[in-house]
Structure 1
């Protein structure tokens, strides 16, 4: 999601503001609202600009749902909604993007202000194949990576899951080397140290066994939310 937001900002040639909860939440009374106001003022000053609110559910979840919600949290949410309303009354080009893994927890007022709600689906077979080629490139000195097997075995995996599979497979040769070095009693000169070996087929099998998909648990909720609130292209 973050990479998609950066790609949008780059393609549009806009100033990019990458904002998370820690960027605008302060322990001092009134500072959070001021930070939100300054953020939008900066965005208007550097227009055209893109404000990306990452994991927005941590900033503006549903109001009134939790009895323990602090007054400062309500003021922050109100200020953010006011600033987004103000964008419709200015000539500066400020584009607001937001990402969340829990869209059903967003406040209804924020959902209304986010005019386009787009579900980013799990990568399809072609995308998974391209990701494996990027993260585990084949070289003349290594075995041919079974990309088709990897693609077939990772149905339902997210992009981060696939990256973790590749990382786990790439770490296996290093772990074997570390085991060999730890078994030696005497120290070896640096120029005589053995090299890290290539990735083997069993490394990939082990990585797949040890890395399970993380996004499938909420798949039906994403589909239902997209059905109820998503933006659909009318052909």
Structure 2
């Protein structure tokens, strides 16, 4: 994925104009749309009111929802918090690509929200959370190319945090909202080296086809 983006950036530099973006895009995970009303209806199996007995039209002030604590499992992802510069070493070596990731807690720590930027190439967003029903971590990704995907992790094992899933890649972004793409398998293998230093070995595979691996060295 990143190799094709590198080629796009290099072509743009040679032309001394806006950098072309002719690549398969980044890893991560797709958007999930929740419908609170539907959730409340399902939860109200006893047939009672779901508004806590409040009169019609009465509403709680913003920010006064249930103070449910974040899942304790989320502490396992604290190493991501803060601002990191991640150097991407593409397959076969060559010039490294700079990536910037800033991660903060969201919704009271129930999720981590990562803003991801590859200068002059792509801006993305990745959200991490804990699924209490499936008892595993989830990851959602989307970016300004239109790339979307999702991945999951069973948690830390032998010093590795591995997310696996699928991503719908966009070959060439278009302002028309229509583009060609391909669905690929993705694997992130994260390892903590110190308090402010971790790595991610990312593998992207076309089902029944080629496999490409990138190595990200991330430091605060």
Give TM class, smaller chain: under 0.3
Higher helix share: 1
Q: TM-score, normalised by structure 2?
A: 0.23
